């Protein structure tokens, strides 16, 4: 598994807009590009941390060409709601000991 870590700083009063766009774009990347999804974490009022999971580095590196036009709307909304959105690191995962969620 391949992991990409992001740091995000939101423009004040744009949290809801950012989260809505992040969820929409993440869903499209999951559906059309083969990602395994992403998690978003809040550090404080304006600072967030996210990580995306991919089956492998090659899938991540080749992603982007299969997204529908709707993805651009989510990207623009994210851009307008963020002061900073950058990749911190990229890693190969070697062990996964997180408990798997139970389906309801």
Per the structure, the complete domain to which residue 80 belongs is given by 2-92
What is the total count of domains within the chain?
A: 1
- Of 76, 40, 37, 74, which Cα lies nearest the Cα of 59? 37
Q: Is residue 33 part of a domain?
A: yes
- 3-state DSSP assignment of residue 87: strand
pTM of the model: 0.88
Check: CB of residue 5 under 8 Å from CB of residue 15. Answer: no
Q: Is residue 104 part of a domain?
A: no
How many CA atoms, within 13 angstroms, populate the side-chain half-sphere of residue 96? Answer: 10
Q: Is residue 97 part of a domain?
A: no
Q: Is residue 10 part of a domain?
A: yes
**CATH number of the CATH domain containing 58:** 3.30.70.100
Over residues 36-85, the pLDDT tens digits come to 999 999 999 999 999 999 999 999 999 989 999 999 999 999 999 999 99
Q: Is residue 30 part of a domain?
A: yes
Residue with tokens 């709601």: 81
Confidence of residue 100 (pLDDT cuts 50, 70, 90): confident
Q: Is residue 70 part of a domain?
A: yes
């Amino acid at each position: 598994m391949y992991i990409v870590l992001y740091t995000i700083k939101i423009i004040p009063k744009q949290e809801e807009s950012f989260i809505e766009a992040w969820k929409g774009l993440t869903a499209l990347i999951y559906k059309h590009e083969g990602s395994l999804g992403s998690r978003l974490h809040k550090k404080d009022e304006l600072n967030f941390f996210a990580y995306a999971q991919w089956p492998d580095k090659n899938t991540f590196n080749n992603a982007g060409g299969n997204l529908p036009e709707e993805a651009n709307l989510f990207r623009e909304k994210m851009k307008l709601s963020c002061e900073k959105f950058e990749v911190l690191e990229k890693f190969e995962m070697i062990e996964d000991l997180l408990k798997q969620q139970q389906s309801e």
